[in-house]
Amino acid sequence: MTYLFTFGETMGLVAADSIGPLGYARSFSYGICGAESNVAIGAARLGAPATWLGRVGRDATGSLITGRIEAAGVRALAISDDAFTGLMVRHRRSAEFTHVDYHRQGSAGSRLMPADLPVAELRGAGVLHVTGVTPALSESCRATVFQAVETARAAGVPVSVDVNYRGKLWSRFEAAPVLRDLVTRADIVFASPDEAALFIDDDDPLDGLAKLGPAEVIVKDGGRGCVARIAGRRHAVAALPVTVVDPVGAGDAFVAGYLADRLAGEPPEQRLATAIAVGAFAVTVPGDCEGLPDRTELAALTGGDVRR
């Protein structure tokens, strides 16, 4: 099995332990969060070799990030930077609404640059995975994403893109042309219906995204499951019924499941089934990546015995 290569900003995560206004929270958990590292950790727990690259500050949070990613079985290429490590503060205002504040402008992760890319690592990967988060962080991050994509394409390495639009990082007007350009260069694309609507006019997000060129288009639709068009064939998979404890990170978990099975040579039907199951498992436990399952735990979920 070849490996997954991904990169981006991973931050410290301060999360209120209780549901309600932040001002009334009396205890907090401290962990890590980042779309790309979540995918790398999820894939590694499913047995897929994974490498993550990113810049971290010379601070306790930077050390925590590197240690946590490596402890999850991911090869971490952490570049030390003089800037601070970014931070996310998150609380659940209600059972239905999660509020996030970013403290990341000028952070170490936002200073990633094309010269940081290990070209040999990229050329030897089984899949390069990037997200729409990284191009929003800075001009140098955007240049790094497109340089990595072009390097991978030239080497025949499949490019995976998760649109992953973040409205707090850039406007829809700013994001749309960049994300569209990125998707046109992808072999595999993941998006929600709302994300696809940012830059396509087609009523059917599958058709609209497929017209941009990717051979594998997967539309993630939360509790409604997913639909996909892979090598011209349409697929639909329903969501699994689970008790939702923390909905954050489900999309990254879904991507991790799909890419892990793709690297293992599984057919599209199996990749999608695994993606749905990993996403479902992720929402049954708190945290962005702490509860991502291994293969044994995943089998327990699909067998009807959810272990928490």
Provide mean pLDDT across the span 147-176: 97
CATH number for domain 4-302, candidates 3.90.1300.10, 3.40.50.2300, 3.40.1190.20, 3.40.50.1950? 3.40.1190.20
What's the rounded Cα separation, in Å, for the pair 175 and 197? 12
Higher pLDDT, 7 or 298: 7
According to the model, what pLDDT value does residue 57 have? 98
pLDDT, tens only, 276-291: 999 988 887 776 777 7
In angstroms, how far is the first alpha carbon of the chain from the final one? 30
List pLDDT tens digits, range 179-233: 999 999 999 999 999 999 999 988 899 999 999 999 999 999 988 899 999 999 9
What pLDDT is stored for residue 141 in this prediction?
98
DSSP letters along 197-240, please?
TTT---SSHHHHHHTTS-SEEEEE-GGG-EEEEETTEEEEEPPP
Q: Give the pLDDT confidence score for residue 302 in this predicted structure.
A: 65
Percent of the chain with pLDDT over 90: 76
Q: Where are the domains positioned within the chain?
A: 4-302
Q: Examine the residue annotation and report whether 17 is marked as an active-site residue of this protein.
A: no
Q: What is the pLDDT of residue 307?
A: 41
Q: Which of 252, 261, 288, 305 is catalytic?
A: 252
112-154 pLDDT, tens digit each: 999 999 999 999 999 999 999 999 999 999 999 999 999 999 9
